[in-house]
């Protein structure tokens, strides 16, 4: 196994950071790594807002659902879908389609994962902050995003001040299908639920009593950020 | 610079492959790498369909816009949003929201990029196939995707039979903003357009005369897969 794969397989989200800053050369490498990622039709539809202002960080931590590490991490990057760039170059561009939002979301994931892995390969840690979408409109205003540009998620980066275990994932036999979709292997889910019960009960912080099935499907029975569709529509990015 | 960052920065999409297969141990590592990625709220909403059937490959190559490498690559993986898994566990799950489609698209990008980097770190190459969405409904039927599961993109993987240059990207000063959105640096775009003109004119295959601005904004003036919104709606995944 090579060191890239070791880095990938060792991933844990890091939510506690030391006060050590990320130096500018490291940050440049992290950003270059993100930019080197594949881009759908080379459209390059992502902007990154690096938030260095302490007051804005504090506001974002609150808007993300009181996630204090958004304020405390050495760096905080916000990944946005950005078709404003293309509109500025050519005002005949029509970015009003679901498809283009999908391109933006996939490409942001690809780019951000390059940034995170580059950081992790240097001994840094980080965590994705989807919670920015809890209050997408307010985050948008705080970052002064123009029309045709929308907030997707943030990423905290810094030197880890914790050493959490790698969290068990669904087994490959559940995730991977061959040639056509296979129905769910409920036996494998039951085993995974048991594994996660043990993981949650035994981990060093935030212990809880919950199986994966209960936890995720409980969450999915609730309404999930119903304001996102009107938000994307208001930015000209969801529906035709 | 460490080898993970070298792998990331050396990325080129590979569209010509030798006939050498990817052995099962390598493929397992690629899949494990994908599964190790961050997952929004640990929902784990992605399924991968590995297509080994030669006839299905041929059909997919055609449906993706006659991209022959979909047929010829050693492996072809299709990344799908999958809330059917959660519905099977708990039929009270309500996956009818734009937000959940966004989670799926971002998480698929994150997972797929882990797969691609793991492959690249082993000397393999690959390319994302967004073209599967050209005929999303037909791809969906071919792979027998159930309700609440939708095709996002494919990925060809194999041993490279070409050695293309790294394609220049927009400079960091255009992609990265500090604290708030900055208006477009048109000078930087003009320079990048010049760089891309030279790149396209000088590269070893598929030479063309086009600046980045012309090419991308021309594409964005056309309607972009307008069937995607009705497709996602038909799968219960777009609008409330």
Number of Cβ atoms within 10 Å of the Cβ of A228: 23
Tell me: pLDDT of A228 over 80.
yes
pLDDT level of residue B208 (50, 70, 90 thresholds): confident
| B111 touches B46 (CB < 8 A) | yes
* Contact list, A102 vs chain B (CB under 8 Å): 101, 105, 133, 152, 228
Please tell me if residue A24 touches chain B, with a CB cutoff of 8 Å: no
**Neighboring chain B residues of A43 at a CB cutoff of 8 Å:** 216, 219-220
Question: What would the pLDDT profile of B50-65 be if each residue is shown by its tens digit?
Answer: 999 999 999 999 999 9
**pLDDT exceeds cutoff 70 at A156:** yes
State the smallest CA–CA distance between residue B110 and chain A in angstroms: 5
- The distance of B224 to chain A (nearest Cα, Å) reads 7
Residue B158, SS3? strand
Contact (CB<8Å) B105/A102: yes
Same domain, B117 and B85: yes
The radius of gyration of chain A's CA atoms, rounded to the nearest angstrom, is 19
Average pLDDT, chain B: 93
Q: What percent of chain B shows pLDDT beyond 70? A: 98
Number of domains composing chain B? 2
Give the number of other CB atoms < 10 A from CB of residue A16: 18
| A53 and A145 part of one domain | yes
Residue B240 has pLDDT above 60, yes or no: no
Please state the rounded mean pLDDT for residues A117-134.
97
Asked if the structure places residue B240 within a domain, the reply is no
| Number of other residues whose CB lies within 10 A of the CB of residue A187 | 9
Q: Assess whether A47 and A141 both reside in one domain.
A: yes
A112 and A185 share a domain? no
Task: Over range B1-19, report the average pLDDT.
Answer: 97
Same structural domain, A77 and A116: yes
Q: What is the pLDDT of residue A103?
A: 94
Q: Is residue B39 part of a domain?
A: yes
CA angle A126, A162, A9 (to 5 degrees): 55
Q: Is the CB of residue A9 less than 8 Å from the CB of residue B32?
A: yes
pLDDT band at A114 (very low <50, low <70, confident <90, very high): very high
pLDDT band, very low/low/confident/very high, at B226 (cuts 50, 70, 90):
confident
Give yes or no for B195 touching A (CB within 8 A). no
- A177 lies in the same domain as A197: yes
Instruction: Tell me the residues of chain A between 46 and 105 that have a Cβ less than 8 Å away from chain B.
Output: 46-53, 56, 80, 83-86, 88-90, 92-95, 97-103, 105
Same domain, B159 and B178: no
Residues whose CB is less than 8 angstroms from the CB of residue B66 and which lie 6 or more positions away in sequence, other chains included: none
CB-CB: which of B44, B110, B178 is closest to A50?
B178
- Tell me the three state secondary structure of residue A159: coil
Which chain A residue is nearest to residue B155, measuring alpha carbons? Answer: A38
- Is residue B201 assigned to a domain? yes
A88 and A205 belong to one structural domain: no
Residue B43 and residue B95 share a domain: yes
Are B42 and A83 inside 8 Å of each other by CB?
Answer: no
Q: Which two tokens stand for residue B131?
A: 């073209």
Same domain, A40 and A129: yes
The predicted pLDDT at position B93 comes to 82
Of A11, A142, A180, the CB nearest to B37: A11
Identify whether residues A159 and A176 lie together within a single domain. Answer: no
Domain that holds residue B152: 3-165+225-234
Q: What's the pLDDT score for residue B205?
A: 72
Closest by CA to A39, choosing from B169, B98, B27, is B169
The answer on B149 and B176 residing in a single domain is: no
Question: Does B239 reside within a domain?
Answer: no
pLDDT band at B134 (very low <50, low <70, confident <90, very high): very high
Which residue of chain B has the CA closest to A8?
B33
Query: Which stretches does DSSP call E strand in chain B?
Result: 46-50, 75-82, 125-129, 149-158, 176-178
Residues of A in contact with B215 (CB under 8 A): 42
**CB-defined contacts A:B, below 8 A:** 355
Give the CATH number of the domain where residue A34 resides: 3.40.109.10
What does B77-132 look like in DSSP terms, one character per residue?
EEEEEE-HHHHHH-TT-----HHHHHHHHHHHHHHHHHHHHHHHHTT-EEEEEGGG
Q: What is the pLDDT of residues A30-88, one digit of tens each?
A: 999 999 999 999 999 999 999 999 999 999 999 999 999 999 999 999 999 999 999 89
Query: Which pair of tokens denotes residue A46?
Result: 């992502």
Residue B180 reports pLDDT greater than 60: yes
Sign of the CA dihedral running A72, A74, A79, A85? positive
């Amino acid at each position: 196994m090579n060191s890239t794969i070791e880095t990938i397989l060792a991933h844990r989200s890091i939510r506690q950071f030391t006060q050590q800053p990320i130096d500018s050369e490291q940050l440049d490498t992290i950003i270059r790594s993100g930019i080197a990622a594949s881009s759908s039709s080379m459209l390059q539809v992502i902007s990154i807002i690096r938030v260095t202002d302490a007051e804005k960080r504090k506001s974002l931590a609150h808007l993300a659902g009181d996630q204090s590490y958004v304020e405390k991490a050495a760096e905080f990057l916000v990944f946005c879908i950005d078709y404003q760039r293309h509109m500025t170059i050519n005002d005949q561009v029509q970015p009003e389609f679901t498809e283009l939002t999908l391109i933006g979301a996939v490409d942001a994931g690809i780019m951000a994962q390059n940034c995170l892995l580059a950081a992790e390969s240097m001994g840094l840690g980080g965590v994705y902050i989807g919670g920015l979408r809890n209050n997408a409109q307010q985050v948008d205003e705080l970052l002064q995003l123009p029309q045709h540009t929308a907030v997707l998620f943030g990423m905290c980066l810094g030197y880890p001040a914790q050493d959490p275990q790698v969290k068990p994932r669904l087994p490959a036999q559940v995730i991977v299908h061959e040639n056509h979709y296979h129905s769910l292997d409920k036996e494998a889910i039951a085993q995974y639920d048991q594994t996660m019960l043990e993981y949650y009960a035994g981990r060093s912080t935030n212990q809880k009593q919950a199986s994966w099935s209960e936890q995720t499907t409980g969450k999915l029975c609730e309404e999930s950020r119903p304001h996102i569709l009107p938000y994307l529509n208001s930015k000209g990015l969801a529906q035709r």
